[in-house]
Amino acid sequence: MANLRIRSLAALQCLALLLSSAIAAAAAAAAAKKTYIVHMNPHHMPSSFATHRDWYASSLQSLSSSSDASAAAADPLLYTYTAAFHGFAATLDSDEADALRSSASVLGVYEDTVYELHTTRTPAFLGISGDLGLWDPQEGPNGGKRRAFGDVIVGVLDTGVWPESKSFDDAGMPELPARWKGACESGPDFSAKSCNKKLIGARFFSKGFRMASGSSFLKNPKEVESPRDRDGHGTHTASTAAGSPVANASLLGYASGTARGMAEHARVAAYKVCWSSGCFGADILAGMDRAILDGVDVLSLSLGGGIAPYYRDTIAIGAFTAMERGIFVSCSAGNSGPAKESLANVAPWIMTVGAGTLDRDFPAYALLGNGKHYAGVSLYSGPGMGHNPVPVIYSKDSNISGQLCLPGSLDPALTRGKVVLCDRGVNARVEKGQVVRDAGGVGMILVNTAANGEELVADSHLIPAVAVGRKMGDVIREYVKSDRSPTAVLSFRGTVVNVRPSPVVAAFSSRGPNTVTQQILKPDVIGPGVNILAGWSEAAGPTGLESDTRKTLFNILSGTSMSCPHISGVAALLKSAHSNWSPSAIKSALMTTAYDLDNTRSPLRDAAGGTFSTPWAHGSGHVDPQKALSPGLVYDLKAEDYIAFLCSLDYTIDHVKTIVKRPNVTCSRKFSDPGELNYPSFSVVFNDKKVVRYTRELTNVGAAGSMYNVSVTGPSTVGVTVKPMKLIFPKVGDKMRYTVTFVSKKGTNPTTRSEFGSIVWSNAQNKVRSPVAYAWTKLVS
């Protein structure tokens, strides 16, 4: 009997071991699977399949040679794409991905990419009044034709939307456009009735996120799958682009006034593609695909990833189809400045937007024990420190983590009751304040390093905190290190306007040159992106930290994420005023009318070092909506021009088809140089050549009989000749060409890094300005 029990126990142990091994094997198999985006040739679909989805599902089923029940039960097909892309997203292991690549019907198989978010007074700063764009500026309100603002739809791909925000109030909005095919999707925390005549659509795309979250490298099972914004970023960007006017808006008393979007009469459609662990390419492509089919006029994406060829860039691929359908696509340039070659979203059919400051600030001060007064910024809104000096500490040089105020780096015994000096960088600025508070500190002075220069970004800290620039930071550090008993008192002064100089290019704004195509100058423009007030989610505190339990209807944020929706909203204004303009024409109008002088009439400056900015930082300049409404001339482009451009990049025809999505596309027409694209700016790369020659075509969108003369500025190292030097346009819509020849002069040092200039066509009414960047060496990719 005992032997029987022993054998039974052994059998049970063996069975348990087998089950454990099976579970482990199943988990390992699941972990080995990743999301892939598969580009198919739609014309290879056999006639036996009724839909492309049936064909894709069958293709995936044929891959499975495993008898594993759990694998068979899980549908690997995540999305099918029809507009932005021809193909699907699926969960595959590496062997299955390789098997698909060998199929003649498959043009490409790419592993999913994770993208990240690039995170009142702005309408006045930009010169936008309540009725800007309702009338053609050349005809005036009495002679112009009234435009239907409500017919313009801005699609925002982001973290979703907080529909209860007053920024989406639909009072006075007309009925929905008949062409709108969107929907208001429901979720556990989001009703299908949450949309209205202002917020006309809300969808969510989470299959790529869900797949990644179920694997070993990302875990977040608690995320609610719905269009609701629990981060705040999406509500902020959507309300910036096209929010309704809200009186008495502020962040805890800061920036008080009327908050409204750039195109306050336009509609908003929210597409949630970003989740707590990022924005997954499969979800982004699905969101773009749906937005195109829904009928948006403008797509705004305040997110981006690393640099890749256009045929591997999810956003570039989706944006190409959008452009073909007449949809303007605006994307953030990234927050990786001031490092060079740090741009994202550089495809020429995308509007790439950098960030600048406003003429509004939030001054705060640090009074040190030596009597010196140092100015900075802050959005702190709690109880003040009073007037009594408080000891200041700064971690020793051997404690770099402590100097950065990283989590767990501060000794509470040394920190309690003191103001802490924290270096900017590595972790979030607001997190540094939380670290100081958790260690018992009563205040923080946040000091810039060389990477941030004199750029000041205000934050709604949890404790009294003042941010100062690098120069002041260096002085304060030296004081704290050298004084036996250093002290400080922090004070806060609210909101001031009419700050000079402004705008200034933000130090964080990503910079050129363009590493994908050096002959295309990027970014295109800058817009307001520092300390921007807009709508917010009530599910998140103003800092976004879990410990921040404060609630606010509006928040102040900084980033190219904020500048992007400004340009998206302005593009909606232009689309409303000029419904027949192509996305390229709208882009040209915004670029050629942008300004490169600040409000002191000095060239734009760079916050990173205080020196003059260059087109690698500000592109064509800071957007000017009023002038963009009547640009005079535009550089227009069609899809065929972009195809010729793509063919000039030495891509295979399958690579071109991935982007263009036409079965019969050929490279019968191609440029000898990518810079031949009819772009509104110039990037001249001499490399081993002495002469570079480009021909451009201008279209008259101004008055009949317009005449323009050209003027050129540039470095002494380059000779520039423009022929002809005068252009006459007898009729509206007439097109005229000119050729510009750039000659690198003898004796020019080939190691010269870069120079800049401009080409301007002007008459009494308009200045059509194109920046020119010069380089003598080719970037090594």
- Rounded Cα distance between 270 and 161, Å, is 6
- Rounded Cα distance between 705 and 645, Å, is 32
| Bridge partners for 363 per DSSP | 377
Dihedrals phi, psi of 403, to nearest 5 degrees: -65, -30
Establish whether the linkage from the previous residue to 503 is cis, with ω within 30° of 0: yes
Q: Comparing C-alpha atoms, which of 743, 623, 637, 729 is closest to residue 691? A: 743
Q: Which contacts qualify for 755-759: CB closer than 8 Å, 24 or more apart? A: 755/714, 755/715, 755/717, 755/718, 756/614, 756/615, 756/714, 756/715, 757/712, 757/713, 757/714, 757/715, 757/718, 757/720, 758/712, 758/713, 758/714, 759/682, 759/710, 759/711, 759/712, 759/720, 759/722
Q: Comparing C-alpha atoms, which of 117, 125, 134 is closest to residue 264? A: 134
> Phi/psi class of residue 728: alpha, beta or left (left: φ > 0; alpha: ψ in -120 to 50)?
beta
H or E element that contains 47 = none
| Bridge partners for 97 per DSSP | none
* Residue 60 near residue 75 (C-beta atoms within 8 A): no
Dihedrals phi, psi of 500, to nearest 5 degrees: -125, 140
* Residue 538 near residue 390 (C-beta atoms within 8 A): no
Strands (E), 624-766: 633-634, 682-685, 691-700, 706-713, 718-723, 726-729, 735-744, 755-762
- Rounded Cα distance between 629 and 511, Å, is 27
Say whether 79 sits in a helix, a strand or coil. strand
As a whole number of Å, the CA-based R_g of the chain is: 28
* Residue 253 near residue 381 (C-beta atoms within 8 A): yes
Dihedrals phi, psi of 737, to nearest 5 degrees: -110, 155
170: DSSP letter? -
The residues carrying an active-site annotation are 158, 233, 561
* Structure-token match 């007074």, residue found: 121
Question: DSSP assignment of 178-223, as one string?
Answer: TT----B--BTTB-TTS--SSEEEEEE--HHHHHHHTSTT---TT-
Say whether 374 sits in a helix, a strand or coil. strand
* Residue 586 near residue 328 (C-beta atoms within 8 A): yes
How many other C-beta atoms are found inside a 10 Å radius of the C-beta of residue 307? Answer: 18
- Rounded Cα distance between 604 and 621, Å, is 8
- Alpha helices in 439-581, H assignment, sequence order: 470-482, 560-577
* Structure-token match 């689309």, residue found: 575
- Rounded Cα distance between 17 and 11, Å, is 10
> Which residues, other chains included, contact 131 with Cβ-Cβ below 8 Å and sequence gap of 6+?
141
Both tokens of 274, joined, read 């970003």
Residue 281 burial (C-beta neighbours within 10 Å; 0-12, 13-18, 19+): buried
- Rounded Cα distance between 626 and 635, Å, is 18
Q: Comparing C-alpha atoms, which of 542, 569, 499 is closest to residue 356? A: 499
- Rounded Cα distance between 236 and 563, Å, is 11
